[in-house]
Structure 1
Amino acid sequence: MSQRRAAALAQALRILAPALPEKDRAAVVDRALGSRQMGAAPAPVAAWAALVAYARHGFTDYDALLAEGYGPEAARHFVEAAVAARLAAWGCRRPVAGEDR
């Protein structure tokens, strides 16, 4: 996991979510670097996917819904507004609605 890749991801996050706190930015970069699926994606694509996943898992009831037996699609539906609100709080102007399904 190269420093160059981490720097590119961090820069993409600064553009995508300019108000994202540094500790959260570091966590999102770590998530992207730790993902095999995101490893081959361009930095902006990987940064976006990791950011949405970070918001979904860290700031919503998504995991609790999965534990209750909801499927991923249904759980994503129920937390979509909370994810969008979190992204907006981080200064993100890109909509999340339905795109990661």
Structure 2
Amino acid sequence: MMTDAPRSRGTRRQKEMRRQLRVTIPLAPHADAVPILEAALAPHLRRLPPSIALWQAITAHVRHRHTDYEAMLDDGYDRDAARFFCLDEMNEVLTGWGCPRQVTADEPEIAGDGSV
């Protein structure tokens, strides 16, 4: 009788990212968690520790999908001002998702690709 070998559910990094995603934003809707995980696994974040890559992906997703950030940019706000003015909205979303961490105005940008 032949048995199937156990299947791996991704690389060690992918498994760690999924675990940290569940811990960091346990109440996030699946429709948000999937693109956040995909962004955290993007090649340009590969050299970052999983926790930092995931936080970058979470904050970028929330900023672009759940705040008025894009509208502020369209209205002529510079990037730093738009980021500052959407902090409260971001933190409301993160709190609703059960995130123990909040975004602060002095948080450094790490991703370096200009998209966050």
CA distance in 2 between counterparts of 1:55 and 1:80 reads 10
- The number of equivalent residue pairs is 99
Amino acid at match of 2:55: W
Letter in 2 for 1:51: I
- Written as runs of structure 1 = structure 2, the 5 A alignment for 1:1-101 is 3-4=10-11, 5-34=13-42, 36=44, 38-101=45-108
Question: Shift of residue 35 of structure 1?
Answer: 5.3
Runs of 4+ in 1 over 4 A off after TM superposition: none
Measured in 2, the distance between the counterparts of 1:62 and 1:18 equals 24
Q: Which has the larger radius of gyration?
A: 2
CA deviation after TM superposition for structure 1 residue 54, in Å: 0.5
TM-score normalised by length of structure 2: 0.77
Q: 1:66 deviation in Å?
A: 1.0
Secondary structure of the residue that 1:23 maps to in structure 2?
helix
CA distance in 1, matches of 2:52, 2:42: 15
**Stretch moving more, 7-16 or 50-59:** 7-16
What TM-score comes out, normalization by structure 1 length? 0.87
Using the TM superposition, give the Cα deviation of residue 68 of structure 1 relative to its aligned residue in structure 2, in angstroms.
1.6
Richer in helix (by share): 1
Aligned residues: CA RMSD:
1.7
| Structure 2: runs of 5 or more not aligned | 1-9, 109-116
* Fraction of identical pairs, as percent: 33
